[in-house]
Amino acid sequence: MRSLRVLLVQWAIILAAFALIVGILNLANVHLTRIRERQVNSGYSLILLVSLVLTITIVGYFRPNGTWSLWIFNNIQVPIESSLVALLAVLLLLAAIQLLRRRLNLFSVILLVTALVALFTTTPLFFLGELPGVNSIHQLLSQVLAVAGARGILLGVALGTILTGVRVLIGADRPYSG
């Protein structure tokens, strides 16, 4: 049975690899259609296709660890995605500032107070250094309260997974039969 399981797993890996290729081809086809039909914002599709072709050509020619391949990655992909994450940080901060403007209640206040404590206790304050008792508060937040909530989430995920499996086994759910 173990050899059969390994065989099936290898088949799944091959299928997944081909699925990735099919996904890339489908993406290219969709954007080719948009360009051919001159749909709205088809210029972005053109940029995508050009980037796809260039990247495949350069990485395929110079290998993934080649100089030009790393240049594309370090100077285009990493900054773009990092900027998106930084933008997320700014938006989260803006939402926290305006939270009481939108919804002024006790839970909003608790959320903001918790965020403030976590920020203050993560790093030492300028010119003040470590405040007494801050570290214990930080550990209480990150290792007790947060972990308690995370365990509840994980237990819920585990129970949900088991229940989903049972429903599939008894035929209550047929996710692959349509």
The tokens describing 26, both together, are 């489908």
Q: Give me the least distance between CB of 146 and other proteins, in Å please.
A: 4
Cα dist from 21 to 26, 30, 63, 82, 96, whole Å: 9, 14, 18, 26, 41
Binding mask 99-138 for other proteins (x = CB under 8 A): xxx--x----x--x--xx--xx-xxxxxx-xx----x---
- Compute the least distance from the CB of residue 84 to other proteins, in Å: 6
Q: Is the torsion defined by CA of 97, 102, 104, 105 positive or negative? A: negative
Vertex 122, ends 77 and 135: CA angle to 5°?
A: 155
Smallest distance, other proteins to C-beta of residue 104, A: 4
* The residue to which tokens 């803006």 are assigned: 94
**150 counts as binding other proteins under rule CB under 8 A:** yes
> Where on the chain is the footprint of other proteins (CB under 8 A)?
6, 9-10, 12-13, 15-17, 20, 63-65, 69-70, 73-74, 77-78, 81-82, 84-85, 89-90, 93-94, 96-101, 104, 109, 112, 115-116, 119-120, 122-127, 129-130, 135, 139, 142-143, 146-147, 149-151, 153-154
